[in-house]
Chains A and B, each alone.
Chain A
Amino acid sequence: EPEVTQTPSHQVTQMGQEVILRCVPISNHLYFYWYRQILGQKVEFLVSFYNNEISEKSEIFDDQFSVERPDGSNFTLKIRSTKLEDSAMYFCASMKLHNSPLHFGNGTRLTVT
C-alpha cells in the first residue's frame, strides 16, 4: 500500500540554524499538510497546500516557516531560524480528495539545542 514518506526520521540542529524537513506524499494525492506535535501534547495543524499554493495556515506558521512543492513528488517544510520551542515531531500528511482519509507519514522528530 502506498504511504507518505518523511526524511529524516530524526534531525538535531542548533538554535538559529535553518532546517528542511522533507516529505514524499502519496503520488495521486492532491492535498498536502504539515502538522506538529510537541512532546506529550496534541497534534496541531500548521499549514495546508493545494493546487501549488497555501490554502490555510495556523497562527503557529509564522514568517520563519515556509513550504514548497519543488517538483511533482516532494513537499518540504523549511524553518529558517530554529528556536528551542520548535522542537517537536513534524508530521506530513496527504489526502486524495476532499475529506478522504488523511494519510500521515511517520514523522520527523526535530530537536533544537
Chain B
Amino acid sequence: AQKVTQAQTEISVVEKEDVTLDCVYETRDTTYYLFWYKQPPSGELVFLIRRNSFDEQNEISGRYSWNFQKSTSSFNFTITASQVVDSAVYFCALSRSKNSGGSNYKLTFGKGTLLTVNP
C-alpha cells in the first residue's frame, strides 16, 4: 500500500520568508513518481512538479525548489522569498510507475499543508 504523510497541517509565515513543506512517503515499489500540487483558495489543483524515483537530483524552478531524499523517503518543497500569492494548500502525491506493475497510475495524496503568507 502507498501512503503520503504531510505532518504540517498549517504553516504561517511573513512575506519574504523562506518556507519548507515536508512530505514523507511509503511505498514497496522500487520505482515510483512523486508530485506536488497547489490548491489556491479558488479550489483548482495546479500541477507543480513530477519527480521520478531514480532521479535524485534536486530541482529548482524560480523561487521553488524540491529536495528528494530516497534514503529518508522524503520529498520536501521549499519556497524562497514567499509571497502572499503563494498562500494555498499544497499537496504531495505518489503514484506507481509502469516498471512497478502499476496499471492505472492513480495518485495517492497526502492531507495537504495550508500555507498562509502574511504581508
B-contacting residues of A (Cβ < 8 Å)? 31, 33, 35, 41-45, 48, 50, 55-56, 89, 91, 95, 98-99, 101-107, 109
Contacts and interface: CB of A to CB of B under 8 A. Distances in A.
B73 to A, nearest CB: 18
A70 B18 CA distance: 48
A41 B39 CA distance: 12
Given A42-B112, A43-B91, A99 B107 contact: no
A77 to B, nearest CB: 15
B45 A42 contact: no
CB-CB nearest 10 A-B residue pairs:
A48-B104, A104-B45, A55-B104, A106-B44, A43-B109, A42-B111, A56-B104, A45-B106, A42-B109, A98-B98
Contact of A42 (B43, B47, B110): B110
A56 B111 contact: no
A55 B104 CA distance: 6
A95 B105 contact: yes
Given A42-B110, A44-B109, A91 B104 contact: no
- If over half of A's interface residues share one DSSP class (helix, strand or loop), that class is named, otherwise mixed; here it is strand
Nearest to B31: A99
Given A42-B110, A99-B105, A89 B43 contact: yes
A109 to B, nearest CB: 7
B108 to A, nearest CB: 7
Contacts of A55: 103-104
Interface in B70-119: 91, 93, 95, 97-98, 102-112
A107 B105 contact: no
A98 B50 CA distance: 13
A41 B44 CA distance: 14
A15 B74 CA distance: 42
B43 A98 contact: no
